[in-house]
Structure 1
Amino acid sequence: MITFYKVIVFIHIFSAILGMGPGFILTTVVKSGSTMTELRHSYKIRHKLHIFVMIGGALLLITGLTMGLLNPSLFRMGWYVTSLVLFLAALAIGPLVLSPRSKPIKALLESHKGDEIPEEYWRLSKILFRYEHLENAIFLIIIALMILKPF
């Protein structure tokens, strides 16, 4: 018999796959552009993928907290609490770190004339991608904690 808790776990795992999976390739998608036209198109694709990441992330938080409410002993497990804290930190990185660093790139993509990618883009994207890689590392740690439950 399938319990409500098992349904929540199922949704949680599916949310991780559908939401987190695309998040790991957001940087890769835009690195493939070699002209401004390709770069603009890559960022449009990236934006569409990011919608999956946001929906999946929201479902992960909701289902993760729901599992904790249904099984309060989880709040005494180090791996659960650490995962939750890391997840909240990763969520905060979006508006506090990534958004301010992506705005100049978006402005450059809109205002730049010509098809050659300006050097300013490479400088700005390098900084942005460094933080995105940090966020991906946090998510990998969370996934490892969820699988291994080491403490």
Structure 2
Amino acid sequence: MEHQPKKIVPILKHFQGMNKIDAFNIIHKLEVLLYYLPNPINMNNINPNDIISEIENKKIDPFHFSILPNGKPCEFVGQNDWLHIYKAHSTSIFGRYLMNNYYFKTKYNPLELKKFTKKNLLHSLKNKSEELKVVEFLLKYKVTKKNLITDKFLILSI
């Protein structure tokens, strides 16, 4: 513990002039990457392409937590083997949320949080194995369609 400040200060210098929100975003991405690295970390044996392909073969986000660029936390609401969905609350009146915004990550881009829209989902899955199934789903339903009984997104059952 006594040597920690000596290790932290050089790392913090890399964040010089950056918004705290962007720094938090980078730190979260580092946490996900560190989760998949072997212990102890040896930079001589680390190939960024290998790390990315290893992440793609595993879970999308092992922490089930994300932060938007504006600093608001996102709550994990559901997943399947290629998609994680998050909810961010917005507009609170008298302690009740009036509107929820949804975001997603895919196994093809596990570090990027995107707004959960038809356009963004199709763009993320372009030329991927799930693209055809999602296109068929979107012909019948909206991207945010939920099961009325379970309150789960129908797209997660694909």
Greater share of residues in strand:
2
Shorter-chain TM-score: which interval? under 0.3
TM-score, structure 1 normalization: 0.27
Q: Which has the higher helix share?
A: 1
- RCO (CA 8 Å, sep 6+): is it higher in 1 or 2? 1
State the TM-score, normalized to the length of structure 2.
0.26
